[in-house]
């Protein structure tokens, strides 16, 4: 594509840093957009260079979701804030059964942030968007003074279209439904924890950050009767199950023995005093479907590369108290409550 303006010097992506002017609306900002964002995100809608993106959507109900990403560190095993900002919103859109179509991207950059890091993030976003089959069609860049941000924050908003015949919602879950999980719990949270200050432990665990649109498409095509899907991100599986129990006015019973958890994640949680049920995921989904369809759905999930470790982890019960409970490996029962505030490690 052609640039709007010829600049006297090319943006120094190797050694340059974000300056206040990059968010100021002038030539420096135009150059950052031209030489970085437009290069990476290149698509016909963005290239119209309007204040808004103008597009047509295929017929069907339109869904929209937004998500702000403030993760620290920005780069982590298995991903970075760029890819995560695409996956997070794509997954929120896809959980309705929708096919994700378009994304917006809003950047809040801190003065002094290395352009080489920004470039790495932007390229990662572009790649993630391509894999997810979405176009980043509009955006915004702001710069805050040094010390007033944490390098880079990204907000993305996504739009998708729900195919005919699907109706997935948090309030449609019914007693008797089976609960299915697409894979192992806690990978993302533990990968991030392993890098936090003062907490250096070596691990081979990588974040599970990934776009789930294709797995979702396979699932809803085969079993359109699915009542609800969610991606258990912050607050982990425990928060998601409690949300659904509240919205649908049901109880949920899960089985500890069926819970897929990597041994490394289990070990890390053990010595950090964390419970994998409360640890964040960025590439897993939980689905609620009528019991008669559960085995069929499980088979579809397991055939998909993103669902090879899928499992039926529980069932929905009639419970006016809307409790989430877990049958432990011992046969005893315990509550799986909402997490109160941040999960903090225990000392002994």
Quick one: 318 exposed, middle or buried, by C-beta within 10 A (0-12, 13-18, 19+)? exposed
CB 145 within 8 A of CB 278: no
DSSP 3-state percent helix, strand, coil across the chain (nearest 5)? 35, 20, 45
Told to check if 321 binds other proteins by CB under 8 A, we report: yes
Q: Which of 39, 225, 266, 317 binds other proteins (CB under 8 A)?
A: 266
Q: How far apart are CA 170 and CA 63, in angstroms?
A: 14
Among 1, 257, 291, 318, binds other proteins (CB under 8 A): 257
Distance in angstroms (rounded) separating the CA atoms of residues 291 and 207: 31
Q: Which of 229, 236, 257 is nearest to 188 (CA)?
A: 236
Nearest CA-CA partner of 163 in 246, 235, 221: 221
> Is residue 258 near other proteins by the rule CB under 8 A?
no
Q: Which is nearer to other proteins, 216 or 272 (CB)?
A: 272
- Is the distance from CB of 175 to CB of 250 less than 8 angstroms? yes
Closer residue to other proteins (CB): 2 or 204: 204
Q: Is 332 in the site for other proteins (CB under 8 A)?
A: yes
DSSP labels for 108-172?
A: EEETT-BHHHHHHHHHHHHHHHHHHT-EEEEEEEEEE-TTSS-SEEEEEEEEEEEPTT----TT-
Contact 106, 138 (CB under 8 A): no
Nearer to other proteins, 147 or 330 (CB): 330
Pick one of 49, 57, 291, 329: the residue that binds other proteins (CB under 8 A): 329
CB of 339 to other proteins, least distance (A): 9
178-186, 202-210, 307-315, 329-337 -> range binding other proteins (CB under 8 A): 329-337
Stretch that binds other proteins, among 99-107, 210-218, 263-271, 298-306 (CB under 8 A): 263-271
SS3 68: strand
Using the rule CB under 8 A, give the single segment among 26-34, 66-74, 143-151, 339-347 that binds other proteins.
339-347
Binding to other proteins (CB under 8 A) within 267-306 occurs at: 267, 270, 272-273
* Smallest separation (angstroms) from other proteins to the CB of 301: 26
Please report how close the Cβ of residue 317 comes to other proteins at its closest, in angstroms.
11
Query: Distance (Å, rounded) from C-alpha 311 to C-alpha 332?
Result: 21
Interactions with other proteins, residue window 174-213 (CB under 8 A): 198-199
Q: Which C-beta is closer to other proteins: that of 160 or that of 251?
A: 251
The smaller minimum CB distance to other proteins, of residues 103 and 250, is found at 250
Q: Which is nearer to other proteins, 55 or 255 (CB)?
A: 255
The residue among 47 and 270 lying less far from other proteins, judged by its C-beta, is: 270
Give the footprint of other proteins on this chain (CB under 8 A).
198-199, 257, 263, 266-267, 270, 272-273, 321, 323, 325, 327-335, 337, 340-341, 344-348
């Amino acid at each position: 594509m052609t640039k709007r303006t010829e600049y006297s010097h090319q943006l120094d992506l190797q050694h340059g840093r974000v300056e206040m002017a990059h968010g100021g609306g002038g030539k420096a900002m135009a150059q950052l957009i031209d030489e970085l964002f437009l290069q990476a995100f290149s698509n016909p809608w963005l290239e119209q260079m309007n204040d808004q993106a103008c597009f047509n959507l295929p017929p069907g109900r339109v869904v929209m979701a937004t998500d702000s990403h403030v993760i620290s560190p920005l780069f982590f095993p298995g991903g970075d804030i760029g890819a995560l900002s695409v996956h997070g919103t794509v997954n929120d859109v896809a959980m309705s059964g929708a096919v994700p179509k378009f994304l917006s991207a809003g950047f809040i950059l801190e003065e002094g942030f290395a352009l080489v890091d920004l470039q790495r993030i932007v390229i990662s976003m572009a790649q993630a968007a391509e894999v997810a089959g979405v176009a980043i069609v509009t955006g915004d860049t702001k710069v805050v003074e040094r010390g007033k941000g944490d390098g880079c924050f990204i907000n993305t908003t996504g739009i998708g279209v729900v195919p005919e015949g699907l109706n997935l919602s948090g309030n449609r879950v019914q007693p008797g439904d089976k609960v299915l999980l697409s894979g192992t719990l806690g990978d993302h949270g533990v990968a991030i924890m392993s890098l936090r200050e003062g907490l250096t432990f070596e691990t081979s665990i990588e974040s599970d950050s990934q776009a789930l649109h294709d797995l979702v498409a396979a699932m809803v095509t085969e079993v359109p009767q699915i009542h609800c899907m969610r991606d258990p991100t912050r607050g982990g599986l425990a928060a998601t199950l409690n949300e659904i129990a509240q919205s649908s006015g049901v109880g949920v019973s899960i089985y500890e023995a069926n819970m897929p958890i990597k041994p490394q994640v289990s070990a890390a949680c053990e010595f950090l005093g964390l419970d994998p049920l409360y640890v964040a995921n960025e590439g897993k989904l939980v689905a609620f479907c009528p019991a008669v369809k559960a085995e069929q759905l499980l088979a579809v999930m397991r055939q998909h590369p993103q669902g090879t470790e899928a499992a039926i982890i529980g069932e929905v019960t009639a419970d006016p108290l809307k409790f989430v409970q877990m049958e432990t490996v011992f046969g005893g029962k315990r509550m799986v409550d909402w997490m109160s505030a941040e999960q903090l490690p225990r000392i002994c």
